[in-house]
Homo-oligomer: A and B are copies of this chain.
């Protein structure tokens, strides 16, 4: 299955950009909420370093995951669906070919 050499129409680029931004907002909003709640529970120095380790990992993860290159978007969307930050409905309007590839990769 060739997924990196795919053309995106202008309409599809708009849909992709919106879905990408939506997933990023959902995931980062959840992170903000999680940190706000978790920080209230901090009692000891170990809790501080656990928070630091957690933020280091999340930052690294987010930096790598949200890769807006057209050659990568099929993988990015598949992963975001797998993780629950997008649903197939958020990608409505993409070609059936792209949607099939994304769904297929999301199940791997």
Contacts and interface: CB of A to CB of B under 8 A. Distances in A.
Nearest to A29: B45
A36 B48 CA distance: 9
A59 B55 contact: no
Please report whether the interface of chain A is mostly helix, strand, loop or mixed according to DSSP: helix
Nearest to A55: B52
Interface residues of A, number: 20
> How many chain copies does the complex carry?
2
20 contacts: A28-B45, A28-B48, A31-B45, A31-B48, A32-B43, A32-B44, A32-B45, A35-B39, A35-B48, A35-B51, A36-B39, A38-B39, A39-B40, A39-B42, A40-B40, A49-B59, A51-B55, A52-B55, A52-B56, A55-B55
Interface of A: 28, 31-32, 35-36, 38-40, 42-45, 47-49, 51-52, 55-56, 59
